[in-house]
Each structure stands twice: as C-alpha cells, then as structure tokens.
Structure 1
Amino acid sequence: MCLFQIIMSRRLNARRTEGVDKNVWVEFTKLAADYKVVNLGHGFPDFSPPKFVQEAFCKAVSGGPQMHQYTQAFGHPPLVKSLAKFFSRIVGHEIDPLEDVLVTVGAYQALFCAFQALIDEGNEVIIVEPFFNCYQPMVKMVGGKAVYVPLRPKVEGSAVLSSGDWVLSAEELASKFTPRTKAIVINTPNNPLGKVYKTEELQMIADLCIKHDVLCISDEVYEWLTYDGNKHVKIASLPGMWERTITIGSGGKTFSATGWKVGWVISSGHIIKHMKTIHQNCVYHCPTAAQVNT
C-alpha cells in the first residue's frame, strides 16, 4: 500500500464534484484528436480575428510594464467605462462602470460567478432547452435543482425548420415556477438552435420573473451574430427587468478570439456585488492586456 493511500483513507473529493466530472467538450475534443476527424462540436472558428483586433492586441502587450501587471480586480477601468457607456444606450439605463459591470474570464466564468453567488442549496433554476452544457452542472454544484422547459417546433411535421419555428409555451413555462424557483436561464441568440427571442417572447418571460420575484440569467454571447433581419433584444431593457437580470456577454464570439477569454456581466449593483465576492475569491482579476484590447 502506498503512503498516499495510508494518509488519505477518508473521502478525497468534495461531494459537489460527483456527477459533474464529465464534460462533453473535453470528451469530444479527445475523440476528435484520437481519430483525427473534424470536430464540429466545439464553438470556435477556424480563422483568425480581424487584422485590426490583432494589431490592437500587439499594441497592448507592447504598451509598457503596466500591461503585464495586475489591473483593477473587477475590470480594467477603460474597459468597464466603455462597456457601461455602450450598453447604457441599449438597455435605456445609466450603467455605473464601477458598480454594475464585472469583467470575467470569458462568459464561462461569468456564469460560474452567477450560480455560485445567487443560487442556494434547494433553489430551483429553470433552464430552457436546448442549452449550453455548463448550466446544469453549475446549478448542481451549488446544491440547486435544474428544472427544464423545452423550446418546441411550432410547425409540426414541417420538412424544413428555421430557428424562428422553435417557441416557448407560455403555459408550460408558467407551470415550472414554484415557491422554490430562484432564477431562469435563457440564451439568446440560442446555442445550438440559433433562435433569437422576439420582444413579445421576452416580455412573457419578464412578466413571470416579476410575478414570482425570480432572477433572469441571460446568456447573450452571440448578440451580434444575427441574420435575416432578426434583431437581438436585451431582456434587461424591458420594464422592471434591470433590477433582476444578469446579462452575460463576451468578446470572444464577436471578434473570433475565443482563446482570449474576455467576458463580462452587466447587472444592477446590488446583484453584481455578490458576484464580485465569488470573483475575488476565484480568479481575482483577468489578464490586463486582453482587457485593454477588448
């Protein structure tokens, strides 16, 4: 018997890691490498970011010693000011760059901070299907319960479906809300369907959130990738939703720079302050040069 086995006779892993150890992207990436096939599952492009983005990054890393040191823990000041100014016009609310914005290591860490900071053991979280794979394990890790409601095709038997043919039943969604419901997670534009929620669909979700005093975690990393006349609408811009919406965005999808891992959260300061607590005890802050470039 080895020394490690003698010392560690008790349970080694924390219980919260059980049942969440498998990850579809880790598995598929390994399979694609082992069998030398094209991996169509992982969400990154096979082309470089635009030239002006690459040049800006080179300029940032050559910008002196401060570009290689710590910056403000919750977001590089020029970046949070730019995000606040830009999105204030879109949501119709004056965003405070120091109180209402948190820069994260990609949208992934933004989601992690949201679930860790806002979901308690026993809370229910409604997740609209289909969804990005990390939502469910992140809910499970904090002791929450995922409750699913699907988007369904409204044109039964149609030979060809568009993303707009997938809809959320108001009655079915309403039935999922209980006194234990703490949040709902939506993803618009949706991965993998590409569905862009219309204003009336978002209003239906907003009405239920307000009625049941529930948070809305809105994953909007594909907000600038809309086509065929579709318009992305932020649910945080609807009446009564700024105070209860956690809007998550990312520069990676927009600029084809997923490896830079620059994401952000925009929300009311009374929500963001709890996410900052997780952030400062997790990664503390994000790479300075990548934030300067974004």
Structure 2
Amino acid sequence: MSRQIHSRRIEGLDKNIWVEFTQLAADHAVVNLGQGFPDFSPPNFLKDAFTRAINGDFNQYTRAFVIIIEPFFDCYESMVRMAGGHPVYIPLHPKPVSGRLMTSADWVLDPAELANKFNKRTKAIVVNTPNNPLGKVFNREELQMITDLCLKHNVLCISDEVYEWLVYDANRHVRIAGLPGMWERTITVGSAGKTFSATGWKVGWAIGPKDIIRHLQTVHQNSNYHCATAAQQAVAEGFVKEFARLGAPDSYFTNLRQELQLKRDQLAACLSSVGLKPIVPEGGYFLIVDISAVKIDLPVSTDTEQPYDYRFVKWLITNKGLVTIPVSAFYSSEHKKGFENFIRFCFAKEDSTLSKAEQILQEWKSTLLTHF
C-alpha cells in the first residue's frame, strides 16, 4: 500500500488561474486583454543586443509571518507558503468618489488596520508599486507609513517594482528603499520583461544590501539556478543605452510610458462609453473594471465556491471572444468574496488589438447593461 507524502503548507496551491484561463483562451477565437504580455515586440536596439550576445561569447554560466497587501500578484502567497511562512493579508480599501472616474489612488490602506497586522512574529511585508492588478502607485506618505512600521518592528520589506518605468500622468515612482532606514532592510525586485516589453526573456534582478542579497543568491543558486546569459547581456546593453538618453526625445522608457498612457486612456474611454466603471490606473499594464452593474444570466457552475468574476470571465471568453482576468484571483480566500465584481484588462497591446476589443464591447453595448 503506497503512502502519499507531501507538505501541508503547499496544499491548495496547485490551482493556477494562468493555466486555466490560458487554456480557455486557446480553445476559442478571442481578443486577449487578459494576460500581461504585450503583443508588440521589444525595441529593436534590445533585440539587436540579444543577437550580438548569442553570436558572442555569452553562452556559458554567469559568475514566520509575511504581510501581503491586497490585491496582490498570486505567486506571492505561494512563495510565502512554500518557504514555510504564514501570509497575513491586508486589503486596499476603495474610497467613494463622485463626479469623476475612480482611480487607483482612491484605493488606500487603513493606517490602524495596517499597524494591527504587525507583531513580534512579523518578519516581512511585500509591497508592489505600481501594483498589479490595480495600477496603484504608492506615494511617499503611504510608503513612509509602511517604513515607520518596518523600523518599529524590525521587519524586512520585499518591494516588487517591475513596473517602475510605467507611471502615468503626474505620478512619480518612489522607491521605498530610498526612505531613511529602509535600504538596510529592503529587497527591490525589477524585471526586464516589463521594462523592455520582453516578458518571455524572464530576466529580472534584486537590489539590496550585501548581507541580505548573499542569502538571496544562495536561494537562487539552488532553485532556478540561472537564466540565459545572452538575455542578461542584452538587457545590460539595453540599460547602458537607455540610461545615456533618459529624458531625451528618443528615450524608449519615455516613449513607452507615453504610448501606454494613451492606450490606457483609449481603453478607459471605451469601457466608460458602454457603461462600465473603469478604475483608472496610475501605472503598470492593467486596468480593473467594476462589473457590478452588468446583468447577465451566467451558467450555473459545478464548482459552487467559484467566485462570480470567474464565471463572468469564462462566459465573456466563450460567448464574446474577449479575454480578461477575474480580480478575485488576486485576493486571499478570506477577502475574495468582497472583490468578485471586478475584472482585469491589459492595455499593453497593439492598437489593432484594442480596437478589436472595442468593437466587441460596442456590439455588446445594447445588451450589456440594464439601462441600455
């Protein structure tokens, strides 16, 4: 008789929204505004650097309790649990607004609630700015509130800043590691995938003090171990080129930010025109939408615990050919129920893709909402 041996701390982590919805999208002819990969290419100067790196000599190896702010990219919970940690969740709360569209800045932390999450067992907090899926850019005052608690309780900060160059309007990206007292206790994570629109390259980095990073190197060495040297070389060349022209008219970072801001505005206007309620993001690739006003008869799911937004997105894919992602996937089980009336759109797409999505929404407009 065989005996199954497994760790309880990773039970339930085998359910993966990306596997499920990637397959569903593949099974239908769709316009994909769900997953966060651009359908346009990285800049030519970066691809040229990759080609040079492949042809050059860059083909060998290169030398407790964790607070998670919701909504959060779903891998945070899995990573904490697989490391033997215990995730503690705190949601951003939307403030009521009138006379204008809600923005991601209207979603805020409750100071007293946040303070109550910290105790002697708290070892780390995960901050994501700009946030996926909300697009919130934490301002200096919000980061200072987190800083004060980290210093008071001697807590490590893991700051996911993969969208650092994609901040819109008059908003400004602030590194929490730059606040007094935080460099010594912060790991800042970045991504070439988002920075250079090359998500398939899987090149990223972590920045922090030597005594913390050396432990991170040990974990990296004994897990994924390595990523493609040629891709690392190309990204390094890309940064050298881009840093030399920051702020100049031909700056890729500047141009990409401006282009994505226009795409964000185009998608937000389209969604508003059909009666939906977009939450305008301050940064990142994504825009979430309030679907609470939508009245459709969804099929009854065999999974009685499946959130409303999951069923809505599946219906949207199979019946309208439009892919989005349910936002409750970015919440813990204890808070999921309160945020199942939102879905996530990705606007980092070609204009032709966004136009196809707009056509789908406009054709659906007559039956989309009760007041149309």
Tell me if structure 2 keeps the 8 A contact 1:57–1:290: yes
Asked whether 1:38 is paired with 2:31, we answer yes
Corresponding residue for residue 297 of structure 2: none
Asked whether 1:196 is paired with 2:196, we answer no
Cα distance change of structure 1 residues 17 and 148 upon mapping to structure 2, 3 Å threshold: closer
Secondary structure class of the residue paired with 1:127: strand
Asked whether 1:155 is paired with 2:146, we answer no
User: Structure 1, residues 227-247: CA drift from partner, whole Å, max 9, x if none?
Assistant: 101110100000000010110
Measure, in 1, the Cα distance between the counterparts of 2:201 and 2:211: 28
User: Structure 1, residues 9-28: CA drift from partner, whole Å, max 9, x if none?
Assistant: 12154444421111111111
Asked whether 1:11 is paired with 2:17, we answer no
Which residue type is aligned with residue 153 of structure 2?
Answer: H
Corresponding residue for residue 219 of structure 1: 160
What are the residue-to-residue correspondences of 1:259-270 with 2, within 5 Å?
259-270=200-211
Cα distance change of structure 1 residues 178 and 47 upon mapping to structure 2, 3 Å threshold: same
Note the C-alpha offset of 1:40. Answer: 2.4
Corresponding residue for residue 81 of structure 1: none
Corresponding residue for residue 180 of structure 1: 121
Corresponding residue for residue 227 of structure 2: 286
Asked whether 1:133 is paired with 2:89, we answer no
Structure 2 length-normalised TM: 0.61
Measure, in 1, the Cα distance between the counterparts of 2:98 and 2:78: 33
Which residue type is aligned with residue 225 of structure 1?
Answer: L
User: Structure 1, residues 151-194: CA drift from partner, whole Å, max 9, x if none?
Assistant: 11223566620111111121111011111111111100111111
Secondary structure class of the residue paired with 1:139: helix
Cα distance change of structure 1 residues 165 and 35 upon mapping to structure 2, 3 Å threshold: same
Cα distance change of structure 1 residues 249 and 156 upon mapping to structure 2, 3 Å threshold: same
Tell me if structure 1 keeps the 8 A contact 2:37–2:199: yes
User: Structure 1, residues 56-77: CA drift from partner, whole Å, max 9, x if none?
Assistant: 11111111xx3211221xxxxx
Corresponding residue for residue 22 of structure 2: 29
What are the residue-to-residue correspondences of 1:2-151 with 2, within 5 Å?
9-63=2-56, 66-72=57-63, 123-151=64-92
Secondary structure class of the residue paired with 2:137: coil
1:168 alignment partner, one of 109, 112, 128: 109
Measure, in 1, the Cα distance between the counterparts of 2:73 and 2:204: 16
Measure, in 1, the Cα distance between the counterparts of 2:39 and 2:221: 33
Which residue type is aligned with residue 262 of structure 1?
Answer: V
Measure, in 1, the Cα distance between the counterparts of 2:29 and 2:86: 38
Measure, in 2, the Cα distance between the counterparts of 1:30 and 1:208: 42
Identity percentage of aligned residues: 66
Unaligned runs of 5+ in 2: 236-372
Structure 1 length-normalised TM: 0.76
Unaligned runs of 5+ in 1: 1-5, 73-122
Tell me if structure 1 keeps the 8 A contact 2:10–2:81: no
Which residue type is aligned with residue 216 of structure 2?
Answer: M
